């Protein structure tokens, strides 16, 4: 593993060749982690010495603002060399993160043709397929032979990011199909490319949600996903590593939402305390206000409660168990919805499954609940109330937690809004009503 | 999209060519979804007509047991053709899913060399890197020239699954490096392959946890990951699509665990009610027993409670808010640990961050809590008790939820065991003690 101190001293003493040789021992990702921690003088010295392709690879793993800060301070010729070596999707992201005026100045470093492509990429809103696309792919005309295509490949292959596939386009740039590099090598050089092209290629419109694109990629086991505009023209290709990031980020967001907070926009340590506060307080307050009605419920049953104070002993236990059951169901279903295993049309099947499971878990827990009441030494009829309530609350929680995420999904809202804390809060209040209603009936209060 | 009825009628009326042409219109994944729903006669008729490579692609998306059932009933020559076309990792998984005697019979359909490789793959335990590897890659000797390597590629490229890279191995099969197909094409044919090989290749031992392999792949933006044995010999390569499945499955498991149940081994609809019951009841019972001590706490404070029955009104509200806060913190941290953003060494930083956030959310909520007490019309000093308790419980929950996942991670246990329901239960009991202690002090009981 690369050591920060070692890199620092290599930079200070370096004669050029030895620094490059040293840097080449490590991977761009690990180097970037170190470069982040250097001071600016060191960063600039490093980038001034190692070859532009290596600088570009390191830069790609840094935050956009840091990328810009380094490029801005580099010698202009060098900066434009490095910029040209970077992936177009990374360049576009950086341009969007910095000031418009700064971006324009930097864009002038790019060759006109490339600049226009990057500017197109910059027009796509965040979280869409278009915003993930790179233009560093290789395109061929359908009239070319395999030999011509391979010649073209040899000419521009060095600069391309996506090289396992060649995209075949028509006169207006419309996507006609795809040929793998393997097929190019296995076919006769004189064959026309249109003879071996796979026309039935899976592509996505630039406006598609990135989540949906990731779903397609994973369903069909693809490694690259072409992106087209409204006129069917190929505007870029998404690489699998970017979609892996999407899959991981979406899972992180869902986990945070299910935990009852709004998802963080940054990593944990990069989020400030104030950001954490802001993302959490909204739901905490909403749930607090919702939970507050448990106070009104209890106040309504104040008389019952003061008559049989023992009923209070079981309040946390009963509503807690309901909340736990609901959280189990909700998290299973929200995830099943997110990965496309469950749909709204399955609602009856889901209800049947969850309520049956609730019946079984409820029965088991009720048994223990009666025993617990017996151990606490309360009267037998209170034990009966606790047992029946337990059963009812578990089934109720299963039912509510089964239907709410499905309904939200149907309404095109995010099912993960129905978080563990949400369902717990909902079951708390309704559970108390169930509890006291059963108590009043059985204890004749 | 393919229609089941249409496929059925095409199979029944088919003359061979037209069925193949029809099937070629669709993707293996979508075909497999349909084939699953055909009856066996139809499945066998279809596989008997379409060419073996297509049958193999469809089979790869089916469940192992169904794969076997179809292969078993196919004509023996055809079965062995199809089997040979399937990915070796899929074949190995199927062999492991069926009876040993059945597997041996099927293995005899494979050429000896290939059979041995598949048998090696079968020795790796589930959830390890080895169990995901395929042997359908292309290997070259370091003494070969580019030209020789490309010749070899042309000979066996049709059967390989991984074709974007060629793996360079030594005399004993040890992994020496990797060359991309792009580099092969861009280099001079007479060059020796050892001149252009990337020696510093990222590989994993067969025994590595699949989760860790997925982490490596995603960190370094790879599309294939070579797997080696203890003697450094290349035994297979993992493709990116298999690791995407791992990433998605691990996220699903973590979400289910955070929801307070053991993870399902199957998809939602494939899990029976009894399986759901078994995965959920364990934690429900553990938590129920843990929660039961809230009863003892309340019983201990029975006198206080009957003196000031209004204290009971706020029980669900206060412990609910503590549980919500804890759930928010736990889910954020468990995920941050899973993706490697947070480590045990950061524990002080995490505590500071969470407790400060807890101070801020606690202060906001306390304010509302006092107002709520005022609205419920209880005495002012009870309002004071509620406000102070609220603040204390929120900070307490933040603290506990911050340290527990980190400690579990340090002990090499799964932090996701600290689920939302777990932390809620923990905070419920301790929260009550905090509540009544504060009440006794302030109300002089």
pLDDT (0 to 100) of residue B262: 92
Please answer yes or no on whether B317 and A288 come within 8 Å at the CB atom. yes
- Residue A343: pLDDT above 90? yes
Nearest to B357 among A158, A273, A336 (CB): A273
Please answer yes or no on whether B267 and A341 come within 8 Å at the CB atom. yes
Query: What do you get for the CA distance between the two ends of chain B, in Å?
Result: 73
Please answer yes or no on whether B365 and A276 come within 8 Å at the CB atom. no
Q: Which CATH superfamily is domain A292-442 in?
A: SLC41 divalent cation transporters, integral membrane domain (1.10.357.20)
pLDDT (0 to 100) of residue B165: 93
Residue B380 pLDDT grade (very low, low, confident, very high; cuts 50, 70, 90): confident
**8 A C-beta contact, residue A386 and residue A373:** yes
Across chain A, mean pLDDT equals 91
Q: What is the C-alpha R_g of chain A?
A: 30
CA dist B115 and B241 (Å) reads 24
pLDDT (0 to 100) of residue B17: 79
Partners of B325 on chain A (C-beta within 8 Å) are 280, 284
Closest-CA distance, B238 to chain A, in angstroms, reads 13
pLDDT (0 to 100) of residue B336: 94
pLDDT (0 to 100) of residue B389: 95
Partners of A154 on chain B (C-beta within 8 Å) are 185-186
The yes/no answer to whether this complex scores an ipTM above 0.90 is: no
pLDDT (0 to 100) of residue B373: 84
Chain A residue with CA closest to B303: the answer is: A309
Residue A378 or A325, more confident: A325
Chain A residue with CA closest to B241: the answer is: A221
pLDDT (0 to 100) of residue B113: 85
Q: What percent of chain B has pLDDT over 90?
A: 63
pLDDT (0 to 100) of residue B105: 87
The 10s digit of each residue's pLDDT in A391-416 is: 999 999 999 999 999 999 999 888 98
Partners of B247 on chain A (C-beta within 8 Å) are 244, 247-248, 251
CA dist B384 and B249 (Å) reads 48
Closest-CA distance, B171 to chain A, in angstroms, reads 26
Partners of B153 on chain A (C-beta within 8 Å) are 185
Nearest to A320 among B202, B241, B291 (CB): B291
CA dist B217 and A241 (Å) reads 9
Closest-CA distance, A429 to chain B, in angstroms, reads 9
- Residue B9: pLDDT above 90? no
- Residue A140: pLDDT above 90? yes
Please answer yes or no on whether A357 and B306 come within 8 Å at the CB atom. no
pLDDT (0 to 100) of residue A374: 85
Residue B14 or B232, more confident: B232
CATH of A4-123, one of 1.10.150.120, 3.40.50.720, 2.40.50.140, 1.25.60.10: 1.25.60.10
Chain B residue with CA closest to A282: the answer is: B361
CATH topology of domain B292-443: Tetracycline Repressor; domain 2 (1.10.357)
| 3-state SS, one letter per residue, for chain B | CCCHHHHHHHHHHCCCHHHHHHHCCCCHHHHHHHHCCCCHHHHHHHHHHCCHHHHHHHHHCCCHHHHHHHHHHCCHHHHHHHHHHCCHHHHHHHHHHCCHHHHHHHHCCCCHHHHHHHHHHHCCCCCEHHHHCECCCEEEECCCEHHHHHHHHHHHCCCCCCCCEEEEECCCCEEEEEEEHHHHHHCCCCCEHHHHCECCCCCEECCCEHHHHHHHHHHCCCCEEEEECCCCEEEEEEEHHHHHHHHHHHHHHHHHHHCCCCCCCCCCCCCCHHHHHHHHHHHHHHHHHHHCHHHHHHHHCHHHHHHCCHHHHCHHHHHHHHHHHHHHHHHHHHHHHHCCCCCHHHHHHHHHHHHHHHHHHHHHHHHHHHHHHHHHCCCHHHHHHHHHHHHHHHHHHHHHHHHHHHHHHHCCCCHHHCCHHHHHHHHHHHHHHHHHHHHHHHHCC
- Residue B15: pLDDT above 80? no
Q: What average pLDDT does range B253-262 have in this prediction?
A: 92
Residue A2 pLDDT grade (very low, low, confident, very high; cuts 50, 70, 90): confident
Partners of A183 on chain B (C-beta within 8 Å) are none
**8 A C-beta contact, residue A233 and residue A173:** yes
A175-180 and A165-169 beta bridge pairing: antiparallel
Which H/E stretch holds residue A65? helix A64-73
Chain B residue with CA closest to A305: the answer is: B309
Closest-CA distance, B421 to chain A, in angstroms, reads 5
Nearest to B277 among A280, A306, A357 (CB): A357
Closest-CA distance, B105 to chain A, in angstroms, reads 30
Residue A3 pLDDT grade (very low, low, confident, very high; cuts 50, 70, 90): confident
Partners of B336 on chain A (C-beta within 8 Å) are 267-268
Closest-CA distance, A129 to chain B, in angstroms, reads 18
Question: B138-239: which CATH architecture?
Answer: Roll (3.10)
Report whether CATH 3.30.565.10 matches the domain B4-122.
no
- Which of B25, B286, B420 to mutate: most A Cβ within 10 Å? B420
Chain A residue with CA closest to B270: the answer is: A341
Closest-CA distance, B399 to chain A, in angstroms, reads 14
The 10s digit of each residue's pLDDT in A57-101 is: 999 999 998 999 999 999 889 999 999 889 999 999 999 988 988
Q: What percent of chain A has pLDDT over 90?
A: 64
Instruction: Return the number of other C-beta atoms located less than 10 Å from residue A159's C-beta.
Output: 13
User: For residue A177, what is the DSSP state?
Assistant: E
Partners of B317 on chain A (C-beta within 8 Å) are 288, 291-292, 294-295
CA separation, residue A156 to residues A57, A138, A151 (Å): 18, 8, 9
The 10s digit of each residue's pLDDT in A170-179 is: 989 999 999 9
- Residue B16: pLDDT above 80? no
Each domain of chain B, given as residue ranges in start order, spans 4-122, 138-239, 292-443
Please answer yes or no on whether B288 and A365 come within 8 Å at the CB atom. yes
Q: Which residues contact A402 (CB under 8 A, 6 or more apart)?
A: A329, A333, A350, A351, A353, A354, A355
pLDDT (0 to 100) of residue A109: 86
- Residue B163: pLDDT above 90? no
pLDDT (0 to 100) of residue A413: 87
- Residue A421: pLDDT above 80? yes
A224-228 and A204-205 beta bridge pairing: parallel
Partners of A312 on chain B (C-beta within 8 Å) are 298, 305, 312, 315
Partners of A295 on chain B (C-beta within 8 Å) are 313-314, 316-317, 372, 376
The 10s digit of each residue's pLDDT in B113-141 is: 889 989 999 999 989 999 999 999 999 99
- Which of A148, A252, A253, A420 to mutate: most B Cβ within 10 Å? A420
**8 A C-beta contact, residue A439 and residue A445:** yes
Please, which residues bridge with residue A145 across strands?
Answer: A192
């Amino acid at each position: 593993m690369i050591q920060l101190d070692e890199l620092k001293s290599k930079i200070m003493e370096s004669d050029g060749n030895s620094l490059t040789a040293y840097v080449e021992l490590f991977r761009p990702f690990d180097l970037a982690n170190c470069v982040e921690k250097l001071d600016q003088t060191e960063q600039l010295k490093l980038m001034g010495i190692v070859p532009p392709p290596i600088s570009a690879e390191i830069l790609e793993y840094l935050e956009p603002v840091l990328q810009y800060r380094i490029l801005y301070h580099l010698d202009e010729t060098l900066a434009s060399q490095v910029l040209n070596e970077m992936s177009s999707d990374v360049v576009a992201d950086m341009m969007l993160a910095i000031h418009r005026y700064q971006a324009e100045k930097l864009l002038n470093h790019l060759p006109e043709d490339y600049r226009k492509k990057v500017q197109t990429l910059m027009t796509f809103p965040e979280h869409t397929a278009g915003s993930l696309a790179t233009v560093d792919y290789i395109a061929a005309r359908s009239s070319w032979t395999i030999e011509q295509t391979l010649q073209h490949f040899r000419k521009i292959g060095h600069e391309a990011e996506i090289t396992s596939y060649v995209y075949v386009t028509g006169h207006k740039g419309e996507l006609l199909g795809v040929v793998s590099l393997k097929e190019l090598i296995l076919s006769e050089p004189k064959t026309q490319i249109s003879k071996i092209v796979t026309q039935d290629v899976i592509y996505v419109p630039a406006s598609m949600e990135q989540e949906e694109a990731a779903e397609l990629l994973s369903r069909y086991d693809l490694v690259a996903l072409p992106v087209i505009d409204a006129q069917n023209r190929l505007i870029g290709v998404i690489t699998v590593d970017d979609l892996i990031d999407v899959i991981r980020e979406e899972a992180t967001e869902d986990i945070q939402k299910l935990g009852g907070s709004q998802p963080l926009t940054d990593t944990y340590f990069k989020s400030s305390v104030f950001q954490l506060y802001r993302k959490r307080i909204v739901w905490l307050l909403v749930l607090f206000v919702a939970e507050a009605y448990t106070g009104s419920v209890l106040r309504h049953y104040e008389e019952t409660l003061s008559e049989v104070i023992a009923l209070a002993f079981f309040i946390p236990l009963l509503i807690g168990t309901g909340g736990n059951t609901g959280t189990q169901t909700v998290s299973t279903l929200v995830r099943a919805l997110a990965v496309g295993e469950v749909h709204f049309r399955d609602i009856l099947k889901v209800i049947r499954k969850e309520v049956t499971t609730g019946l079984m878990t409820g029965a088991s827990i009720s048994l223990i609940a009666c025993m617990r009441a017996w151990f606490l030494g309360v009267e037998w009829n209170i034990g009966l109330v606790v047992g029946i309530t337990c059963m009812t609350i578990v089934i109720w929680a299963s039912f509510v937690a089964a239907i709410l995420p499905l309904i939200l999904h149907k309404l095109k809202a995010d099912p993960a809004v129905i978080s563990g804390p949400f369902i717990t809060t909902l079951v708390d209040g309704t559970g108390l009503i169930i509890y006291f209603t059963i108590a009043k009936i059985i204890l004749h209060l």
